[in-house]
Structure 1
Amino acid sequence: MNKRHDITAQTKQNLIDAFWQLYCMRPISQITVRDVVQRAGYNRSTFYEYFRDVHAVLEAIEVSIIPTLDTLPPFDGPGGAIGMPVAQFWEWYARNARYYAVLLGERGDPAFAIKLKRQITPTILAMFGDAPPADQARRALVVEYMLSAMIGVMAHWHQQAEPMPIDEAMALLKHIMQHGVMDELAGAAGM
C-alpha cells in the first residue's frame, strides 16, 4: 500500500512539474490538459484522476507554497525587536523561489499576491491584540503596505541578473521597516 502511495504521489508531482514547465513558457490560457500529459508522459485519464483542469494544477501549486497559520514562523510582538521576521519570511520565499519568481513576476498571477497577503495578514494582526475598529482599519492598512513591499522586494530581488547579497537585502528590508522608506532614501542620497 505504501508503494502505491509513493507511485501516486510521484505521478501527481510529475503532472505538476510538466504543467509548471509549460506555465513558465506561456500563459495558462494557452496550456491544455493534452499539453501537460504529453510533457509528463501520461494519458488524459491519469490527469483527471488528480486534477479537474489546468487551473486546478495551478491552484494546487499555490496552496502548497502559501504559508498557513500553522507553518508561518512565530512573530515577535510589539515588545520584540521587529514584528515581521524578515529572515524567516525570506527563507520561506527562497524555498519556493522557482514558483514565487514566476507567480509574482511580470507574467504571473496578480491574484496570487492577494492570496498570499490574505493568508499572512491575520497572523501579523493577531500579535497586536484587539483594537478599536478605527485602529483595526489603520493596522490593516499598515500590514497591507508592509506585505506588499516585502513581496515586491523579494520578487524584484529574484528577477535581477546579479542581485545584492541576500544578507544585505534582508538588512535593508529590516532598516526600512524600522526607520521608514524616506529615511532610507535620504540616507542613500547622502541627505
Structure 2
Amino acid sequence: MEYDFRTILNVQRYVSYSTHPHILSSKERKKMKNDRRQIRTKQLIRDALLSLIPEKGLSKITVKDLTERADINRGTFYLHYKDVADLTDQLKEEIFAELPLLTSRIDPTDIRIAAKQNEPYEPIQALLEYLLSHSDFLRVMLLPEGDLHLAMQLKDFMKENMLKKFEQYLGPETNSPTVPADYFMAYITSANIGLLTHWMTSGNDLPVEDIALMMTKIMSQGPLEAMMGGGQ
C-alpha cells in the first residue's frame, strides 16, 4: 500500500503529539485547553441542574439559579445553551442518541426463549446497563419534580422503534388470538417504562440482571404469569 506525503506527515505529527505533547503549537494547546474548559463548564451546569430539581422542581428553575449554583456567569451559560429547556433537551438527546442501536437487537422470539430458560434477555440487559450509566440524570428527571415529558418520550421511542418487530406476531395471520398492535405497544411500553421509572427513582435498589429478567418475563409471559412463576 502506498501513502502520499501528506498522510505520512499527519501520522508523524500524531505520533509526535502523542509522545511529545510539548511540541504542540500554541494555537493547538489553546484549543485543547478551551475544550477541557467547555467540558468542565457543561458538567458544572449539569450538576447544578440535577441538584436543583429535587429542591425547586424543573419548571421553576431559572438560568440565574443554575449560574449561581454552578458558580459561573450568565454569559458563560449562554455560550452553551439558549435557556433551561435547551439544556434539558441537549442532555436528553445525548442519552437518546445511543438507544436506536441498542433496541435494534431486541427480537420477540429470542425474548420468549430467554424467558423459558429463566434468564434475562441479553439485549434488554445491555439496554438497562446503558441507562444505568446515566442513572444520576434519569433518577432525578423521572421524579415528579423532574421532566414530566421524559417518560412519554421514552414510551414514544419504544413504540416507534419496536412496533415493526412485534407487528408480525400481532396480525390476523397468526394462529393465536390477535391483539391490536397499538394497544399491545401501549401496554408493553407503559409497563416497561413504569418498571424503569420505579427502579431509577428507588435508587437502583436491585441489580440490573434482576430488572432485565423481570422485563424479559413480563414481555413474554404477561404480568400474572411472571408474578406467579408461570413458564418456569
Whole-angstrom CA distance in 1 between matches of 2:99 and 2:65: 35
Is there any run of 5+ residues in structure 2 with no aligned partner, and where? 1-30, 114-120, 174-178
Asked if structure 1 preserves the Cα contact closer than 8 Å seen for 2:58 and 2:145, the reply is: no
Question: What residue in structure 1 maps to residue 84 of structure 2?
Answer: 54
- In terms of mean alpha carbon deviation, does 81-90 or 123-132 score higher? 123-132
Alignment pair present for 1:120 and 2:158: yes
1:4-46 alpha-carbon deviations (Å, 9 max, x no partner): 2222222222222212211232212322211111111211111
- Give 2:131's match in structure 1, choosing from 83, 93, 97: 93
Please tell me the root mean square deviation across aligned C-alpha atoms, in Å.
Answer: 3.1
Give 1:15-94 correspondences, 5 Å limit. 15-68=45-98, 70-82=100-112, 85-94=123-132
Q: TM-score, normalised by structure 2?
A: 0.67
Asked if structure 2 preserves the Cα contact closer than 8 Å seen for 1:77 and 1:127, the reply is: yes
Alignment pair present for 1:178 and 2:220: yes
Whole-angstrom CA distance in 1 between matches of 2:139 and 2:172: 36
Deviation for aligned residue 1:108: 2.6
Whole-angstrom CA distance in 1 between matches of 2:199 and 2:100: 27
Change (3 A) 1:117 1:71: same
Whole-angstrom CA distance in 2 between matches of 1:178 and 1:99: 29
Q: Which has the higher contact order (CA 8 A, sep 6+)?
A: 2
Whole-angstrom CA distance in 2 between matches of 1:132 and 1:162: 33
Structure number, greater radius of gyration:
2
Whole-angstrom CA distance in 1 between matches of 2:212 and 2:186: 19
Alignment pair present for 1:107 and 2:145: yes
Deviation for aligned residue 1:172: 2.4
Whole-angstrom CA distance in 1 between matches of 2:61 and 2:91: 15
Change (3 A) 1:23 1:134: farther
Deviation for aligned residue 1:109: 2.2
Q: TM-score, normalised by structure 1?
A: 0.79
Whole-angstrom CA distance in 1 between matches of 2:212 and 2:171: 33
Is there any run of 5+ residues in structure 1 with no aligned partner, and where? none
Asked if structure 1 preserves the Cα contact closer than 8 Å seen for 2:57 and 2:145, the reply is: yes
1:88 match: secondary structure: helix
Whole-angstrom CA distance in 2 between matches of 1:184 and 1:35: 46
Change (3 A) 1:102 1:119: same
Asked if structure 1 preserves the Cα contact closer than 8 Å seen for 2:63 and 2:74, the reply is: yes
- In terms of mean alpha carbon deviation, does 11-20 or 69-78 score higher? 69-78
Percent same amino acid at aligned positions? 26
Question: What residue in structure 2 maps to residue 151 of structure 1?
Answer: 193
1:109-150 alpha-carbon deviations (Å, 9 max, x no partner): 221111122223322123357899999x92233223222211
Question: What residue in structure 2 maps to residue 11 of structure 1?
Answer: 41
Whole-angstrom CA distance in 1 between matches of 2:145 and 2:58: 10
2:53 match: secondary structure: helix
**Which residue type is aligned with residue 167 of structure 1?**
E
1:141 match: secondary structure: helix
Whole-angstrom CA distance in 2 between matches of 1:159 and 1:69: 20
